Structure 1
Amino acid sequence: MQIVQRPATATTGLATDSSASANPLDGSGVAGAADGAAAATGAAPSAPLRRGLSNWDQPLQNDISGAQQAVDFLEQSAAQLRALKTDLSAKLAARQLRDGQAEQRVRQFADTWRTRREASGGTLDARLNFASGEPSSQRFSVRGMTLQNLRNGARETLAVAVGSGAQGLRSVHLSPGLSDEEIVGRFDSALAPAGVRVAAGQDGELVFSTSEDSWPAVRDVFAVQGSGVRFPTGQLNRLKTEAEAPVVMPEGWGTADIEGMRATLQQVTQALAHVEAALAKVRLELASAAQRADSAMPQLETAGVEDLADRFAGIAQEPGYQSLLALTSALVGINRERVVSLLGLR
């Protein structure tokens, strides 16, 4: 990011309304501190900083913040898995039975894994796929929803109920001669308004996905009514949904005996590989977002910045109301998310 100097602009002095405590990331907090310093010394206020960061692309800020949260979660998970792997390897090498430490490490990681959605800001799904700006999703399959089953047969209109409420009832029209892509496209178009997307799986099945928040409702209500060709007529028939298994399942790890520890060590090693691969991808996403932010960052006014810094430092060292005003003007609005977002640019 290049900072260039532009002609100084006039200022109206210290603001007294709520705008004086605006977001410090847009330069207003610093400008308010500068005006406070100027008022204390009796000097003319410095030229204010342009509200450069206030125009920074909000989705870009969200991308950086989400990627940083995902990196933090994955780094913590990787560190715990490495410690567990080392502990299990040492116990197996010495053929040492349980002493409580391995169980504690397993519980620690299981607790961390359960916080995946919240800790990653909803950017990581159960397969550790990263989606910036979108809620994490749950993929699932539905019994009987295969391309072979849907491709064959006469013309039929399916009524598909997804989740609760009338808005979840959608119609899908099938007819002979449709290609697999057309079948998938018709299901996807019909169910998208209900928050469910559809794609073709590797084994010829339809793969559905919805947000993790919506998954419990979709899981409990997925029903189809046909005309007796592919699905029975009459009332809606409830179909079994099966969620895609998460990439890591610590609830199945055991350390009660040598065989259990050996099986757990293998699963921990696989989990660590998945976490490290996801971490590498998210770090690339974070670097890319930071690069975009650097090129998109508005250039800031720098007229009088050195003078501003000198005055602020002088006022901050002197006790009294003006010192408090200068400091609080600069610090109002700072929170963890803003600091993490800016640190991600380093």
Structure 2
Amino acid sequence: MQITSATTPQVIVPGANAGNATAVDGTALGLNGENAATATPVTPTPNSAAPLRRGLNNWDQPLQGDISGAQQALDFLEQSAAQLRNLKADLSARLANRQRADGTVEARVRQFSNSWRNRATASGGTLDSQLKFSNKGSATSFTVRGMSLANLRNGGREVLAISIGGGQNVRSVVLEPGLSDAQIAQRFDEALAPAGVRAQLNDDGQLAFSTTEAQWSNVRDTIAVQGNGIRFPTGQLNRVKAEAAAPEVDPDSWNTVDLDGIRTTLQQVVQALAKVEASIASVHQALAQVAARVQSAAPSTGKNGMEQVAQNFVTTTKQPGYQSLLSITSALAGISRERVISLLSLR
């Protein structure tokens, strides 16, 4: 008789029929958390034949990413709001008392300016220069010279060839009389999306483009258009100018040299604070939506089933041996400090 050694313990999945029980890797069972807390089979509740699911390992990973991204955005925005409130108070005091410059206001401006320049990193790439929150990454909004709706609506049928990034990466947009503004935006969006550029109508009803902040410099320096001589010249691709939308907050333009400059800066600080607080409200709304998704994604387990799981876990862990260790380590698998903080933030 030949005896072979097993390097990994084998266990029987709870709930399997004796006739077709399946042996699985005990370590893998601990990692996926499926009925890991029980050493004995768990009888399914009458309403569900599916195995009991529990533990953080069963959470949707995108949900956890959304929570983490929103928390980073909130941290940055709340820090920015606090800095702006302090700066507002100092500017108001300077104007009210006509104090001579002592460096305090200037230091506050530098502090906020440094924080704002670090916006993309500090927010985990979830806040753009317009303070719009997105877990898909911050973007740069821009316009392209000659691609205004007023220009694109006029004229006969024309095929525009648009190149982004140079080389053979050329996309076509067909313009023809009778298209609505929404249809024009949709055609640009469908054509340019593979190149990482999106098009839509902005809040003012104008055609606006956007791309990731990381790709913006490449788009700005390489976008070129060729037409049929109606809206754009024919012949070869011609470079067109792309201009980024002005940021919602521009601390580099704040002036604290004289009283007039301080008054103007105070107005800009008040406006910036209002925009930051509005962004905070939008992120809180996004977090509430994520919380709703968490609730809907959470597995429903009957009360009797959970009581049985808890009792089996207690019984198993009281008995010394490998099975006790397996139950404890399986229950703790996948739990990290970051996950616990993300969960507590939903309360």
Q: Same fold (TM over 0.5)?
A: yes
State the Cα deviation string for residues 293-323 of structure 1 (Å, max 9, x = none): 134312464546479679989x9xxxxxxxx
What is the CA-CA distance between 1:333 and the residue it aligns to? 5.1
State the secondary structure of the residue aligned to 1:213.
helix
1:327 to 1:202, Cα distance in 2 relative to 1, 3 A: closer
1:139, 1:207 within 8 Å by CA — same for their partners in 2?
A: yes
Q: Which runs of 5+ in 1 are unaligned?
A: 1-8, 36-43, 316-323
What is the CA-CA distance between 1:183 and the residue it aligns to? 2.3
Q: CA RMSD in A?
A: 3.6
1:157, 1:173 within 8 Å by CA — same for their partners in 2?
A: yes
Correspondence list, 1:328-339, <5 A: 334-339=335-340
Q: Which runs of 5+ in 2 are unaligned?
A: 1-13, 16-24, 43-51
State the secondary structure of the residue aligned to 2:282.
helix
- Name the CA distance, whole Å, in 1 between partners of 2:163 and 2:93: 53
- Name the CA distance, whole Å, in 2 between partners of 1:99 and 1:332: 56
Answer yes or no: is 1:64 the counterpart of 2:67.
yes
Answer yes or no: is 1:106 the counterpart of 2:109.
yes
What is the CA-CA distance between 1:18 and the residue it aligns to? 7.2
State the Cα deviation string for residues 83-133 of structure 1 (Å, max 9, x = none): 11111111221111221222221121112212222222222211111223x
1:17 to 1:52, Cα distance in 2 relative to 1, 3 A: closer
State the secondary structure of the residue aligned to 1:166.
coil
- Name the CA distance, whole Å, in 2 between partners of 1:345 and 1:165: 48
State the Cα deviation string for residues 32-54 of structure 1 (Å, max 9, x = none): xxx9xxxxxxxx8998x954432
1:185 aligned residue:
186
Single out whichever of 325-334 and 100-109 deviates more from structure 2: 325-334
1:325 to 1:75, Cα distance in 2 relative to 1, 3 A: farther
Q: How many residues align?
A: 316
2:291 aligned residue:
290
2:219 aligned residue:
218
1:96 aligned residue:
99
1:139 aligned residue:
141
TM-score (norm 2): 0.77
1:267 aligned residue:
268
- Name the CA distance, whole Å, in 1 between partners of 2:97 and 2:285: 40
1:96 to 1:148, Cα distance in 2 relative to 1, 3 A: same
State the secondary structure of the residue aligned to 2:214.
coil
2:77 to 70, 74, 78: 74
- Name the CA distance, whole Å, in 1 between partners of 2:273 and 2:329: 45
1:148, 1:204 within 8 Å by CA — same for their partners in 2?
A: no
- Name the CA distance, whole Å, in 2 between partners of 1:66 and 1:60: 10
TM-score (norm 1): 0.77
What is the CA-CA distance between 1:80 and the residue it aligns to? 1.0
Q: For CA contacts below 8 A with separation 6 or more, give which structure has more relative contact order.
A: 1
1:307 to 1:177, Cα distance in 2 relative to 1, 3 A: closer
1:182 to 1:284, Cα distance in 2 relative to 1, 3 A: closer
State the secondary structure of the residue aligned to 1:59.
helix
Identical-pair percentage: 58
